[in-house]
Amino acid sequence: MSGLIHTNVRSSIMSQNSRSISGFGGPELDILTDAELVKLVNDLKEQINILGIENEILEKTIMRLEPSLMHGVYQAFEYATKMSSNTSLQVGSFIKNQASKFGLIDTFISPSRMLTSPSRVSTKRVDSAPKLGGTVVFGSGPRINVLERAELVSVEMDVLVANLNKIRNKGAKQHALLKAQLEEIGMRVSDIEKANKMFHQEVLVEGWDKIAQRIPAEIWIRFMTEWVKISDSQIGKLRLRTSTLNTQYSKLKGQIKVKAELSESLRPVDFEKLKIENSQCLKLIDHKLQQLGELKKMTGDANLNLTIHKKAMMEQNSYLAKVQSTIKNKEDQTVELDNERDLIQIQADILAQRLNEIRKVRMKYQVPNVMDYVKVKWVVTDLKHAIKMLDNRKHIQQIALTSINRKLQTMSTIAAKSDIAAKSETSYKKE
């Protein structure tokens, strides 16, 4: 219910309403054109919306500052409604319909009557108007200007923003709590599923005895024992983690409490002291930054020297690697040369032995006489001629032997045939 209105807009709205109501069905409404009437209705709607917002702000302000004042407002509203219905039935019904439609009933209630009892509304006005934030809301005092309205609106906006922040923080905490609960439920579900799979695999599948057609009790007891051990270990870990978190929570809570107490006990002197300490810290930071710059310069020079020495070291390492590879090649060549030297030494020993033998043979060898050589050569020639003659004679004798053998073979063949013929004749004769 919007039960309060501003005094500065009351007179204009009342004059317009009285003009429209008093001229209901009269000559003034007949004088207005359709466009003017539509414009008047639109203006009234806009003013009603504005007044509704202002009434809502004022009502919230009163409820926030002094809620007991709203009791008199409600009574004044009821009394004004009864009085308006008794004065004129037609006008009252029209006002009631329009008020129920556009919230216009509040515009016909005098602010001086809102905080009075129903018995004193017709006789007195309230002269002393209560002030809300330095502004007068009703009575014969000064009206509320635009700045005071803006002040009320800003105060209500600050209150709404503060409430909204509280609700937002509460919603964030609730959201975090629900998220944590969902994570906990997810962990429980995963643990239950894992336990179910383990139970199904170890007890129902692997523990099934095909011969007895049942699950032995030992498997079930062993599974439960192992599961209890695993659960105890997990519970111990969770208890340790919970105790750690509780310790951290109590520590953080104590720090927050100390900070809150310090914030309550702070004075301007503390801020001045803090400002002096901050200035000293800034000077120290500048000094440290200067030292840091110098250290960076020194570090840059050191890095440059390090790079130069590193480059020289890399060159030395490359030269050392080349020297080491050369030494290794020379060693390999030395081993090969040693092997070749051994082989050459063996061959030299063999050749030296042969040379010694040749020398021995040469020392023992004597050159014969020429005539003796000629005689020996003549004897050798005669022997060769004799050997050749003997070979020819042997060849001739072999030919003669071959012909004699052929003749003997022929003769033996003929004799064999004659013997066979004689044997056949004798056997024929006997028969």
| Whether residue 117 is found in the same domain as residue 202 | no
What pLDDT is recorded for position 28? 52
Task: With respect to residue 402, please indicate whether it lies within any of the assigned structural domains.
Answer: no
Given 240, 265, 290, which residue is the final one in a domain? Answer: 265
Q: Residue 25: which region, alpha, beta or left (left: phi > 0; alpha: psi -120 to 50)?
A: left
| Whether residue 26 is found in the same domain as residue 48 | yes
Task: With respect to residue 339, please indicate whether it lies within any of the assigned structural domains.
Answer: no
| Whether residue 238 is found in the same domain as residue 120 | no
| Whether residue 258 is found in the same domain as residue 172 | no
What pLDDT is recorded for position 343? 93
Residues of the chain with pLDDT under 50: 1-27, 88-92, 94-96, 98-142
Query: Which residues partner with 131 through β-bridges?
Result: 136
What pLDDT is recorded for position 213? 77
Separation in Å, CA 236 to CA 44, 185, 229, 356: 74, 20, 11, 99
What pLDDT is recorded for position 368? 67
| 110-153 per-position pLDDT tens digit | 333 333 333 333 333 333 333 333 343 444 444 667 788 788 88
Task: With respect to residue 122, please indicate whether it lies within any of the assigned structural domains.
Answer: yes
> If you average pLDDT over every residue of the chain, what do you get?
77
Task: With respect to residue 5, please indicate whether it lies within any of the assigned structural domains.
Answer: no
Q: How many residues does the chain have?
A: 431
| Whether residue 276 is found in the same domain as residue 258 | no
Q: Which of 64, 88, 85, 62 is nearest to 74 (CA)?
A: 62
| 326-341 per-position pLDDT tens digit | 999 999 999 999 999 9
Task: With respect to residue 34, please indicate whether it lies within any of the assigned structural domains.
Answer: yes
| Whether residue 292 is found in the same domain as residue 258 | no
Query: Which residues partner with 135 through β-bridges?
Result: 132
| 69-78 per-position pLDDT tens digit | 777 777 777 7
| Whether residue 174 is found in the same domain as residue 60 | no
Do 208 and 223 form a contact (C-beta atoms < 8 A)? no
Number of domains in the chain: 4
Given 174, 206, 238, which residue is the final one in a domain? Answer: 206
| 163-187 per-position pLDDT tens digit | 899 999 999 999 999 999 999 899 8
Residues 6+ apart with CB under 8 A from 214: 208
Task: With respect to residue 70, please indicate whether it lies within any of the assigned structural domains.
Answer: yes
Angle at 256 between CA 251 and CA 260, to 5 degrees: 150
| Whether residue 39 is found in the same domain as residue 125 | yes
| Whether residue 17 is found in the same domain as residue 133 | yes
Task: With respect to residue 398, please indicate whether it lies within any of the assigned structural domains.
Answer: no
| Whether residue 260 is found in the same domain as residue 273 | no
Given 137, 158, 173, which residue is the final one in a domain? Answer: 137
| Whether residue 17 is found in the same domain as residue 108 | yes
Q: Give the integer Cα–Cα distance in Å for 41 and 47.
A: 10
Task: With respect to residue 384, please indicate whether it lies within any of the assigned structural domains.
Answer: no
337: which 2 tokens? 């040369």
Do 167 and 159 form a contact (C-beta atoms < 8 A)? no
What residues make up the domain containing 256? 216-265
Q: pTM for the full model?
A: 0.36
Residues 6+ apart with CB under 8 A from 32: 40
Q: Give the integer Cα–Cα distance in Å for 99 and 89.
A: 15
| Whether residue 235 is found in the same domain as residue 309 | no
